[in-house]
Amino acid sequence: MRRRRLLKSIIAAGVAGSSNVLWAPGAMATAQNAGHNSYFSGLNEMLKREGPGHPVMLIDTARMAHNISRITQSVGDEKRYRVVVKSLPSVPLLREVMDKAGTQSLMVFHQPFLSAVAQAFPASDVLLGKPMPIRAVQSFYSELDHKKYDAEKNVQWLVDSKQRLLQYQAFARQHGLRLGINFEIDVGLHRGGLAQPEMLSECLTIITADAEHLHFTGLMGYEPQLTGLKADLSHPAVVEVLSIYRGFIDRAKLAGYDAEKLVLNGAGSHTLKIYEKDNTMNDLSAGSGVVMPTDFDTFHLADHQPALFIAAPILKRYQQNPFMEEPPPGMEQLYYIYGGYWKANMVSPQPVGEPIYQSTNQSPILASADLNLQVDDYMFFRPTQSEFVMLHFGDLLGVDNNHINHQWPVFQQTS
């Protein structure tokens, strides 16, 4: 009874326009159709026929292939495409993307993922996407099969300060290792990294004096502050990023390094397309643009296609709203779906909105009287991000032509 009263109060608050947990009735209007469009109808029937009967994460492999093609076209033949592992957290999924993109280059943000990559992809070269605590570095080497994976050659540890460089140097000396060092540089994000080119010169002096334990591999300058700008190479913000980046490259040249042999990394899915005609960076990263969660519906990804969906079975249907005698348009029915509270937005059916309240067990969703989905049908969501959300559904289901063709296990978040 307490929950029933709570639901009544939430719905009433939504009708009054005073709640941010319930969509406005006017936004729901009359449904455009009795359920899903042809695309989601096909996925719905497939899951009722082949699915496991619980919430799943789907990847449309044809759409994914389209997105990979767009990325590789933007990167071009003169640059290297580096696949971001955290955004595609599955060994077989990564293998699919790497094969289609023709790359062995990866960016890794999590030590357990790094250990899994070293085991699964012995030919891969890896750039760390953030500086690792020294204990994480130690954990990686304690798990590493040195005969299978050449970490000295293939791993570039990201270093953001002289202090971390000295810490890594001490570790390398203690264990008789030689670490590849890539320096994080601040190109305007102000989230750490070397702030001035002079700091790079000081660090390179340390590396040059200890070639037995350290070697310089390149630079990484991340610039998500450009996200959403309808920018090209002439935009002042882009000009500033590249000017800062070139200042660090010049310092590396002064220290005797050949820039063409360095890994000069930057970009991300949001900004990669900006650099199609630029020759400053030679190594560009992207991950989420492969599958397109909603946070990546941005200007430079307009020609990509959504390829990642959460599908949740309908558990219960009330064809008459049990909490209101005369519900306003769009609130005549109540559905309960299996699970919920994901970082995701409803994409089909439309114009159904967000759940009345968030529940990880079974989420209540109000709908128009015109909606004719039944118990055991599915509702579909687009995740807002890929990296963390993809770890919550067990095997990813690769689908094509309304058939489940792949079951891809995901990484474990912790080892």
pLDDT, position 175: 98
- Cβ neighbors of 411 (< 8 A, separation 6 or more) are 89, 90, 91, 110, 112, 113, 116, 391
Residues pairing with 345 in the sheet: 382
Answer yes or no: do 55 and 83 share one domain: no
The reply to whether 323 falls in a domain is: yes
- Which pairing describes strands 396-400 and 403-408: parallel, antiparallel, or unpaired? antiparallel
The token pair that represents 402 in the structure block? 């309304």
- What's the per-residue H, E or C state across 114-131? HHHHHHHCCCCEEEECCC
Classify residue 141 as left (phi > 0), alpha (psi -120 to 50) or beta.
alpha
Which has the closest alpha carbon to 259: 282, 240, 236, 277?
282
What is the C-alpha separation between 50 and 61, in angstroms, rounded?
17
Which has the closest alpha carbon to 41: 398, 393, 377?
377
pLDDT, position 6: 52
Answer yes or no: do 88 and 131 share one domain: yes
pLDDT, position 28: 35
Q: Domain count for the chain, please give it.
A: 2
DSSP state of 138: H
pLDDT, position 8: 57
Answer yes or no: do 120 and 266 share one domain: yes
CATH number of the structural domain spanning residue 51: 2.40.37.20
- Cβ neighbors of 70 (< 8 A, separation 6 or more) are 289, 303, 304
Answer yes or no: do 42 and 129 share one domain: no
Under a CB-based contact definition with an 8 Å cutoff, are residues 178 and 214 in contact? yes
Position 345, amino acid: N
344: helix, strand or coil: strand
DSSP state of 35: S
Answer yes or no: do 276 and 353 share one domain: no
The token pair that represents 223 in the structure block? 């610039």
Answer yes or no: do 192 and 155 share one domain: yes
Q: Taking the complete model, does pTM exceed 0.75, yes or no? A: yes
Provide the domain limits for residue 214.
79-281
The reply to whether 295 falls in a domain is: no
pLDDT, position 279: 96
What is the C-alpha separation between 380 and 55, in angstroms, rounded?
10
pLDDT, position 12: 53
What is the C-alpha separation between 387 and 182, in angstroms, rounded?
23
Answer yes or no: do 101 and 176 share one domain: yes
Mean pLDDT by 10 residues, the chain (415 residues): 54 44 33 76 98 98 98 97 98 98 98 97 98 98 96 98 98 98 97 97 98 98 95 97 98 97 97 96 98 97 98 97 89 95 94 82 94 97 94 97 97 69
Answer yes or no: do 141 and 274 share one domain: yes
Which has the closest alpha carbon to 321: 334, 305, 303?
334
The reply to whether 74 falls in a domain is: no
Under a CB-based contact definition with an 8 Å cutoff, are residues 413 and 85 in contact? no
Answer yes or no: do 176 and 40 share one domain: no
**Count of CB atoms situated within 10 Å of the CB of 302:** 9
Answer yes or no: do 226 and 325 share one domain: no
